[in-house]
Amino acid sequence: MEDGAVTHVRSILYLPSSPLPPQQGDAMKMKAAQKVHYDSGPNMTPLVDVVMVILIFLMLTGTFTGATWYLKSNVPIDPRGAKTTEAKSDNPYPDTAKVDVRVSYAPNMAGGGQLFVGYLGDRQYTNVDAFAAALKTKRDELKSIGKTDKDIQLTIFPGGAVHFDLVCQAYQAAMKAEYTRIAMGTSG
């Protein structure tokens, strides 16, 4: 019976992680096994400190990528009436159809500044969307006679006193009308 009692005790305290089956002498180890060992793992505090320092560094030194983009003009300015900047021999598109638009302004009586006035041919447009629609119509006409995007050159001639933001509005209208070759002209 005593052996059975010892065996019973052994089965209770038998630790599954123990590689060895219960043997004589394990009774001594049973007491030690009662002291539970808590594995705390690696100390995370220094890691958190370093990560916080890196984070603060990045927050202070970095600047967010600016919400800016670019209006691309792939042809140099064309001073009509003066020397041309692009020699004929450099022009890879000799059959270019030229679309010239003028940009002027009307004074904004309400809030100051300038209001957009665009000219395509003899027609005047005070609304940028209408101007874009007219440009698109012009482009479609040229495409219907066989011109491709590379053969159509749109040049914007702003007045000398026209503010740059109105020039950008004309530019946007040209981009909305899907012109791919947009150039700037002189004001004279």
Partner 1 sequence: MRKTGMPAAHVSHPNVTPLIDIVMCLIIFYMLVAKIGIDTGADASIKLPESLIGTRITDPSNMIVLNVKPTGGQFAEVSMLNPKSQRSEIFSMQPEKSGQSSYIRSDLKTVLLMVRGKNEEFKIVIRADATLPYRYLEQVLLLAAEVKPKEYNFEAKRPV
Residues that bind partner 1 (CB under 8 A): 34-36, 38, 40, 44-45, 47-48, 51-52, 54-55, 58-59, 61-74, 76-77, 79, 85, 113, 158-165, 167-168, 171-172, 175-176, 184, 186-187
Nearer to partner 1, 15 or 77 (CB): 77
Nearer to partner 1, 5 or 87 (CB): 87
Least separation, in Å, of the C-beta of 145 and partner 1?
27
The sheet carrying 97-107 orders its strands as: 75-78, 182-185, 152-158, 97-107, 114-120, 123-125
What does DSSP assign to residue 113? S
Least separation, in Å, of the C-beta of 104 and partner 1?
10
CA separation for the pair 12, 5 (Å, rounded): 11
Torsion angles phi and psi, residue 14, rounded to 5: -75, 120
Nearer to partner 1, 76 or 121 (CB): 76
Evaluate whether 101 touches 92 at the Cβ level (below 8 Å): no
Half-sphere exposure of 145 (CA within 13 A, CB side): 10
Least separation, in Å, of the C-beta of 137 and partner 1?
19
Nearer to partner 1, 17 or 74 (CB): 74
What does DSSP assign to residue 20? S
Least separation, in Å, of the C-beta of 122 and partner 1?
22
**Cα angle: 131, vertex 134, 136; to 5 degrees:** 110
Least separation, in Å, of the C-beta of 4 and partner 1?
23
Nearer to partner 1, 23 or 34 (CB): 34
Least separation, in Å, of the C-beta of 30 and partner 1?
13
CA separation for the pair 142, 98 (Å, rounded): 10
Nearer to partner 1, 20 or 118 (CB): 118
CA separation for the pair 159, 140 (Å, rounded): 27
